[in-house]
Amino acid sequence: MPEICTCGTELPPDARFCHKCGKPQREEPVADALSREGQPPVVPAAAAVVAPPVPLSFRNPVALRVGLLASALLCLTMMIPGVNYASVVWWLAAGYFSVWIYKRRTGQPLTVRGGAHMGWITGVLSCVLLTVLSALIMAAIQQAGGLGALKNQFHDLAIDQKTVDEAVKRLQNPLDIVTSLAETFLLMLFFCAAGGAIGAKILNKD
């Protein structure tokens, strides 16, 4: 029996379309496949990209702020009479403190090498602050009448005369001042870096 379209037209055998009205006579799987191919491919959601940690340097704003905080506390501690004699302890503590603060602010644990680098940054900033403070103290001494007036003030305070003479003698020689500052700075850098390395080693065990 010949096939007839809904429009009443008699269709030839195996006709896919009505030659009169154009109506399709059967489903077209190929057309469905082509329509699916025309759709944009489904792209899986990209995995969250974890930013690499910022290297420890003076361009790292967190490391710079932490180093300034630790170095300011160190310089204030070293200016306290009687406490400044244990300088090595405070240098180690400053390095340790800087690593502890950096880990708390960033959540990033530091390796022993990274801790030493953080302590070294603290030591460098401490050297800069001590240099500025030393320059201000020398300027204040000059405005107060020079080393002679300072010596008389120490004498009035009943401080050991031999200690006063040695201090004034060192202040009168610029080379001694530079040498003393250089020795202090080298020791400070070493012990601050050592304190940072110790801090990283201990804090990574937590």
Shared-domain flag, residues 96 and 180? yes
Positive/negative CA dihedral, 88, 67, 133, 127: positive
Total of domains in the chain: 2
Does 45 map to a domain? no
Please check the confidence at residue 120 and state whether its pLDDT lies above 90.
yes
Residue 157: its pLDDT value, please? 46
Mean pLDDT of the region 21-29: 67
Choose the weakest-confidence range: 9-18, 134-143, 144-153: 144-153
Does 159 map to a domain? yes
Provide the whole-model pTM.
0.60
Shared-domain flag, residues 66 and 10? no
193 burial type by CB count under 10 A (0-12 exposed, 13-18 middle, 19+ buried) = buried
For residue 133, which of 69, 173, 78 has the smallest C-alpha distance? 78
Query: 128 and 93 in contact (C-beta within 8 Å)?
Result: no
**Which residue type occupies 17?**
F
Q: What tokens does 62 get?
A: 């967190």
Query: 69 and 127 in contact (C-beta within 8 Å)?
Result: no
Please check the confidence at residue 193 and state whether its pLDDT lies above 80.
yes
Buried b (16+ CB within 10 A) or exposed e, 150-160: bbeebeeeeee
| Beta bridge mates, 24 | 17
Residue 185: its pLDDT value, please? 85
Does 89 map to a domain? yes
Shared-domain flag, residues 26 and 68? no
Please check the confidence at residue 112 and state whether its pLDDT lies above 60.
yes
Shared-domain flag, residues 186 and 113? yes
Using CA atoms, how far residue 55 sits from 52, 62, 83, in Å, is 9, 11, 34
Listed in sequence order, the residues at least 6 apart from 74 whose beta carbon sits closer than 8 Å to its beta carbon are 90, 91, 93, 94, 122, 126
Shared-domain flag, residues 184 and 140? yes
Does 43 map to a domain? no
Residue 154: its pLDDT value, please? 53
Question: In terms of pLDDT, which residue wins out, 58 or 152?
Answer: 58
Shared-domain flag, residues 123 and 190? yes
Range of the domain at 8: 1-35
Does 42 map to a domain? no
| Beta bridge mates, 4 | 10
Question: In terms of pLDDT, which residue wins out, 93 or 50?
Answer: 93
Choose the weakest-confidence range: 22-31, 76-85, 160-169, 193-202: 160-169
Instruction: Name, of 13-22, 51-60, 85-94, the range with top average pLDDT.
Output: 85-94
Shared-domain flag, residues 84 and 164? yes
Does 74 map to a domain? yes
Mean pLDDT of the chain: 74
For the chain, give the percent of residues with pLDDT over 70.
Answer: 61
Mean pLDDT of the region 191-200: 93
- For the segment 140-187, what is each residue's pLDDT rounded down to a tens digit? 766 666 555 555 555 544 445 555 556 556 655 667 667 777 888 888
Residue 35: its pLDDT value, please? 52
